[in-house]
Amino acid sequence: SSNFERLHRLDDPLRPVQWRSCVVGDSEFEEILFEKSVGEGIAKITINRPECRNAFTVKTVEEMERAFKNARDDSDVGVVILTGKGTEAFCSGGDVGVRSREGYVGENRIPRLNVLDLQIQIRRLPKPVIAMVAGYAVGGGHVLQLICDLTIAADNAVFGQTGPKVGSFDAGFGVSAMTHMIGARKTREVWFLTRLYDAQEALNMGLCNTVVPLDRLEQETVKWCREILQNSPTSIRVLKAAINATEANSDAQAMAGNSTLIFYATDEAEEGRKAYMEKRKPDFSKFRRLP
Ligand code: S0N
């Protein structure tokens, strides 16, 4: 083939991508997969708990934090994909089974809400993070897709917030990033009614950037990564920070996170959590609506 054809082929944004698995530190990841593309600047973090729709535990979040730090520090990496294992879910939020009255309990029995640190880490990461969403992106999993810089959705994607159903809420970026993205009217609808939205509705609202057939999801996401990788990394770094700076600040997130923590200790939040675990409708009727 001619030089032109070879060059053209090399630049083909739809050419196959080759992933290699990465270990960070001495221990293997247990709840995520961490990969990098061979010869290109793409890192991929996959929540690997498909049996519970990729709900995250304290450990999942800790592992994501380690992987994102590695991707930040690796100057060969220019863009990060965040996704979930399988086609059923991107992420279904915090693992309701390990939620206690004091937050999510990890292996050392210390409860915490470490997903809030992860949210900040993704926003501060000076490289674009792209959510690649197949299936459900709900609850804290939906907030993760909001936090990402871009979202590529498969046609089977389902978006929504479930907090008020399960005794939870994200009044930090879950509200500020969403309001910024889809406006206050729609944000109220999403949070107050806890409806689920299909990929096309999410696209119309501005919750995702594009919708593609499920079998083309990774190909399209990698194409977007490659287009970004051709551009000036410093321009992108500054633009990401500038776009984030137009939203509510991270101190508001800390305030909201504290209110969630206090709420988890109440009987009202417990009713939401217990009902979900017992696979029944929550009964919030005994909780008063104070004037
Ligand atoms: C995702 C849904 C809609 C999928 O429905 P589907 O396909 O019918 O599957 P299921 O049979 O329901 O699920 C399959 C198995 O997976 C388990 N599972 C699913 N999601 C979770 C989950 N989040 N936690 C634990 N287990 C989960 C199911 O139980 C089932 O298991 P088996 O097979 O054993 O019966 C549907 O599953 C659904 O609605 N899931 C719950 C989604 C939800 O409510 N998520 C919200 C949880 N809360 C948060 O995310 C907290 C927000 C947050 O992160 C935060 C924000 C601000 C400040 C602090 C926090 C914080 O809490 O850290």
Dihedral sign, Cα of residue 112, residue 115, residue 118, residue 123:
negative
The answer to whether the CB of 91 is under 6 A from ligand 1 is: no
| Coil vs helix vs strand at 60 | helix
| Coil vs helix vs strand at 136 | strand
| End-to-end Cα, the chain, rounded Å | 76
State in Å: Cα 137 to ligand 1 middle. 10
pLDDT of residue 112: 76
State in Å: Cα 133 to ligand 1 middle. 16
The answer to whether the CB of 97 is under 6 A from ligand 1 is: yes
pLDDT of residue 275: 96
pLDDT of residue 99: 81
Query: Over pLDDT 90: what percentage of the chain?
Result: 82
The answer to whether the CB of 271 is under 6 A from ligand 1 is: no
Confidence of residue 6 (pLDDT cuts 50, 70, 90): low
Rounded CA-CA distance 44/74 in Å is 13
Checking if the pLDDT of 7 tops 70, the result is no
Confidence of residue 220 (pLDDT cuts 50, 70, 90): very high
pLDDT of residue 5: 63
196-210 pLDDT, tens digit per residue, is 999 999 999 999 999
Q: Are 96 and 166 in contact (CB under 8 A)?
A: yes
Please give the distance of CA 26 from its chain centroid, rounded to a whole number: 26
Rounded CA-CA distance 269/164 in Å is 9
Rounded CA-CA distance 154/135 in Å is 7
Beta bridge partners of 197: 159
User: Taking all residues of the chain, what is their mean pLDDT, rounded to a whole number?
Assistant: 93
> ipTM of the predicted structure?
0.95
The answer to whether the CB of 253 is under 6 A from ligand 1 is: no
pLDDT of residue 251: 83
224-243 pLDDT, tens digit per residue, is 999 999 999 999 999 999 99
253-265 pLDDT, tens digit per residue, is 888 889 999 999 9
Rounded CA-CA distance 288/276 in Å is 21
Alpha helices in 132-211 (DSSP H): 140-147, 163-166, 173-182, 184-193, 199-205
Rounded CA-CA distance 272/166 in Å is 4
| Coil vs helix vs strand at 282 | coil
Checking if the pLDDT of 80 tops 60, the result is yes
Q: Are 98 and 60 in contact (CB under 8 A)?
A: no
The residue type found at 229 is L
What is the best residue among 60, 61, 96, 161 to mutate for testing ligand 1's pocket, by most ligand atoms within 8 Å of CB? 96
Rounded CA-CA distance 264/268 in Å is 8
Beta bridge partners of 91: 137
145-170 pLDDT, tens digit per residue, is 999 999 999 999 999 999 999 999 99
Closest by alpha carbon to 134, among 162, 92, 180? 92
pLDDT of residue 62: 95
Burial class for 73, CB neighbours closer than 10 Å (0-12, 13-18, 19+):
exposed
For residue 250, give both structure tokens. 């991270």
The answer to whether the CB of 93 is under 6 A from ligand 1 is: yes
Q: Are 148 and 130 in contact (CB under 8 A)?
A: yes
Q: Could you tell me how many helices (H) and strands (E) the chain has, helices first?
A: 12, 14
